Amino acid sequence: MSFTGPSVGPGGKTIRRALEFGRTSVVRPKGRHQATIVWLHGLGDNGSSWSQLLETLPLPNIKWICPTAPTQPITIFGGFPSTAWFDVGDLSEDALDDIEGLDAAAAHVANLLSTEPADIKLGVGGFSMGAATSLYSATCFTHGKYRNGNPYPANLSAVVGLSGWLPCSKTLKSKIEGQDEAARRAASLPILLCHGKGDDVVPYKFGDKSSQTLSSNGFQDVTFKSYNGLGHYTIPEEMEEVCAWLTSKLGLDGRST
């Protein structure tokens, strides 16, 4: 499947580029299928590496879908191509968001969830840039549409973001304020954010600020967990937290040992 995203050409003109998504790995539930979660990798990674870790988790009732992002030129790498859900020019408070790339990635996630049975709870999660895409998907769900105005079709029941950040955070308030349905969805959507205090790639302050921004804009079920000394990677303690949280929030039968 391909989508288009932005690329700036001579004179600042925007050129639409085709994005070809890579291979998708699927981890089937070992028990009764109760939930499906799309899990998104970080910059330069692929779906297969995360599927191997997710397969080891004691969550027999979850089906994991682990797609691979398109390979595209990345501004922060000087235009060098890498697997990425969207383009990143800078990690700062004032960085410009690649809206078209984010919309394309969120649409890909929703499409992967679109064929799941009606009685299955749906979620999205990810690491780093994958976490950012997951949080962007959460805002699309609450708004009921992507930033391009197209309707967002997936009904999310859980969102997880590890070592990530919230894109488009400055415009979040305007998208929810005065919108009753958006406010209702924001209030009831469970979100888990985890971040290491020693992260030197996506600084801890980005995770902390993202949590605060969500909470102050009507997201009433946000859990933020911090880990002393943790860098830009995951550890068993963090994944244990994810397992316990998903089991609780999704009402899963129980964990295997």
Structure tokens belonging to residue 176? 């929810």
User: Which pLDDT tens digit goes with each residue over 171-199?
Assistant: 887 777 778 889 999 999 999 999 999 99
Q: Are 7 and 24 in contact (CB under 8 A)?
A: no
Write the DSSP symbol of residue 222.
Answer: E
What is residue 172's predicted lDDT score, i.e. its pLDDT? 85
Higher pLDDT, 13 or 120: 120
Domains of the chain: 22-250 (3.40.50.1820)
What is residue 107's predicted lDDT score, i.e. its pLDDT? 97
Q: Are 5 and 91 in contact (CB under 8 A)?
A: no
Q: Is 177 helix (H, G, I), strand (E, B) or coil?
A: coil
pLDDT of residue 244 exceeding 80, the answer is yes
| Residues β-bridged to residue 219 | none
Sheet holding 191-196, edge to edge: 25-27, 62-66, 35-40, 121-127, 156-162, 191-196, 222-227
Q: Which residues are catalytic?
A: 128, 199, 232
What is residue 255's predicted lDDT score, i.e. its pLDDT? 62
Query: Measured on CA atoms in the order 112, 113, 114, 119, is the torsion positive or negative?
Result: positive
Higher pLDDT, 191 or 90: 191
What is residue 227's predicted lDDT score, i.e. its pLDDT? 97
